A and B are shown apart, each in its own frame.
Chain A
Amino acid sequence: MKVATLACRVVEHQWVSARYKYLRLSCPAPLARHTAAGQFFQLACPVSEAQAPFLRRPMSVYGIGPEEDRIEFLYHVKGIGTRALERLRAGDALTVTGPLGTGFAFSPDWKRVLLVARGVGLATMAPLVPLAARAGVAITAVLSARAPGELMTQEFLRGAPASVHAVFDSDGSSAVERVEPLLRNLLDAERPDRVYTCGSNRLLALLQKLGAHGEVALEQQMACAMGVCLSCVRLFNEEGEKVFRRVCCEGPVFPLGAVAGEVQFG
């Protein structure tokens, strides 16, 4: 079956910063062979006396392989589910369902890609880094974070060469007015074959405004994660028409230009 629910084992689990945690799993199937950059899994966060998460948590695959039974995640410890997940120790069991969704398009023939990530959005794009590095495609990364301590450049590149531009809320460099000239210059000067982004609606809107050609990974509250329940829709412009698409299966990766502005909730 293309999508399987598997009882996996935690191999490594550690903090990489004050709020983000790295998780490495060993799976009873060669998942690495079947998982592509931009795809995700549903994680069954453990139920404990303190926490009883009910729905599964969608998490992008952050690393694939190199052993064929290994997959990795990098996640923000945030609410009930991720706080329960956080408590797992090496050797513990974790059930995951996947791989799910449509990942990023990539061609080894390209010369350069531009990756624009905000916060933990870099976890979703991280599997693109080894793809590009192995193919000799140059990488430029614009990484945006609250403060230098949360940037996770190492976690993103994992040793791959790249030209990195870091911007922060703490010194105001991540403000849209300041990121705009930076991105405009990079697009003009480097002419990347593709731009990828994840983690910020503002960066997405900015890249759209600049006419960037590429893809974005989106999030939405979901339940089934397989296109069945119709909960995780977002609005898109396709051939002059407005259409709803399901983030879980038609995405989470979509063409940058097609995303229509989100209706703000509340």
Chain B
Amino acid sequence: MVDPQVDLGVKIGSLMLKNPVMPASGCFAHEYAQAMDLGRLGALVTKSVTPKRRIGNPVPRVAETDAGMLNSIGIPSSGLLYYVDKILPHYVGVPAPLVASVSADTAEEFAAACEALSVPGVSAIEANISCPNIEADGRAFAMSPKDTHRAISEIKRHARVPIWAKLTPNVADIAEIARAAEDAGADALVVANTLLGMAIDPETRKPKLGNVMGGLSGPAIRPVIVRMVFQCARAVRIPVIGCGGILSAGHAVEHLLAGATAVQVGTASFLDPAAMLGIIDGLAAYCERHGVARIAELTGSVRIDPGLTDRWLRLAQQSG
């Protein structure tokens, strides 16, 4: 159980979370109530919904890889009305703020969807701008600072709840995208979505996913994402939520030290549906062991020796 001595609470803009652990979009739904008390989570993040109905991609939609998995689910969706009528009621009474994840084809559709989802029961909206932008030949919004800025500005003009921008790691300069989202008014960043990947079965010569390419998640991507959390946290003042490859409390701490204020857990729940509760308990134990009174102190507190490179060079010159 969580030690009451340690303050696990964190703040994401105006939103107070009782602990920094929440699910990653697409890796959580009300069915997990069969395996854990959802009320113990810092927040609940639901699967991305789209304004239009979508059937999703062909199967197989998942494939195992080394230390991770590929997915090409394709965001099947029954639309926003269905979400509000049929999905949201499952979470009534769960004592954790609900964050609705949204995907859309254009900046305007994004804004309209976020407006429609600014309803009681939704505490914040996560704009999954890692999805394809129809007006840019299907390139993800978050692959361009300009498209990121336009989508988030448009959303901020219409939404009545805080907006988290979920970035894609499939970019050369993530800090530039992070700044564009912050400039456009994003209340927080989620870093990040899956890395684009592909796997082929050498025996059958077929791709392992029906959709050929898909998103890589799990521990395989953690070092890449931790680096991006570090870069984003240094580039912006808004909170960064770390998401990628977290299986344990130690992995979550890694994200926090790199600069995250909170973390999202995705693939780990597929290995154990109650994995997030173990991570929450593990974070409390970590804080106790390290004499950390408030977990918020950990954010960005990676111990980097600023003089190391200089001393290294000096030493090299002396001995040379």
Contact = CB atoms under 8 A, between A and B. Distances in A.
Interface of A: 1-5, 44, 52-56, 80, 97, 220-234, 244, 249, 263, 265-266
Contacts, number: 108
- Nearest 7 A-B pairs (CB), nearest first? A231-B61, A221-B60, A2-B34, A231-B62, A3-B35, A227-B31, A228-B29
A54 B65 contact: yes
B270 A56 contact: yes
Contacts of A234: 59
B204 interface: yes
Nearest to A247: B59
A6 to B, nearest CB: 10
B300 interface: no
A220 B61 CA distance: 10
Interface stretch (B111-119, B147-155, B271-279): B271-279
A229 B59 contact: no
Chain B interface bracket (under 10, 10 to 19, 20 to 34, 35 or more): 35 or more
Given A5-B274, A55-B64, A220-B60, 20 more contacts: A1-B274, A3-B34, A44-B271, A52-B66, A55-B62, A56-B270, A97-B35, A224-B269, A224-B270, A224-B273, A227-B31, A228-B28, A230-B26, A230-B56, A231-B59, A231-B73, A233-B56, A244-B76, A249-B31, A265-B210
B35 A229 contact: no
Nearest to B36: A1
Nearest to A234: B59
Contacts of A52: 66-67
B60 to A, nearest CB: 4
A2 B36 CA distance: 9
Interface string B43-80: 00001000000011011111111111101010010000
B206 interface: yes
Contact of B61 (A54, A97, A221, A249): A221
A155 to B, nearest CB: 28
A226 B269 CA distance: 10
5 contacts: A97-B35, A220-B59, A228-B28, A228-B269, A265-B210
Contact of A54 (B28, B69, B206, B210): B69
Name which of B76, B272, B273, B274 has the most chain A CB atoms within 10 A of its CB: B273
Nearest to A53: B64
Contact of B62 (A221, A226, A265): A221
B77 to A, nearest CB: 10
B71 A228 contact: no
A97 B206 CA distance: 31
B32 A5 contact: no
A244 B35 CA distance: 24
Contacts of A4: 35
B272 A5 contact: yes
Nearest to B55: A244
A227 B61 contact: no
A57 to B, nearest CB: 10
A230 B47 contact: yes
Contact of B34 (A53, A226, A244, A265): A226
Contacts of B68: 54
Given A54-B64, A54-B218, A222-B62, A1 B269 contact: no
Contacts of A80: 64
Contacts of A244: 55-56, 76
A3 B270 CA distance: 13
A229 B58 contact: no
B27 interface: yes
Contacts of A226: 31-32, 34-35, 273
A227 B270 CA distance: 11
Name which of A221, A230, A249 has the most chain B CB atoms within 10 A of its CB: A230
Contact of A266 (B28, B63, B206): B206
B122 to A, nearest CB: 19
A52 to B, nearest CB: 7
Contacts of A228: 27-29, 31-32, 47, 269-270, 273
Nearest to A249: B31
Contacts of B28: 228
Name which of A228, A234, A263 has the most chain B CB atoms within 10 A of its CB: A228
Name which of A4, A52, A53 has the most chain B CB atoms within 10 A of its CB: A4
Nearest to A262: B59
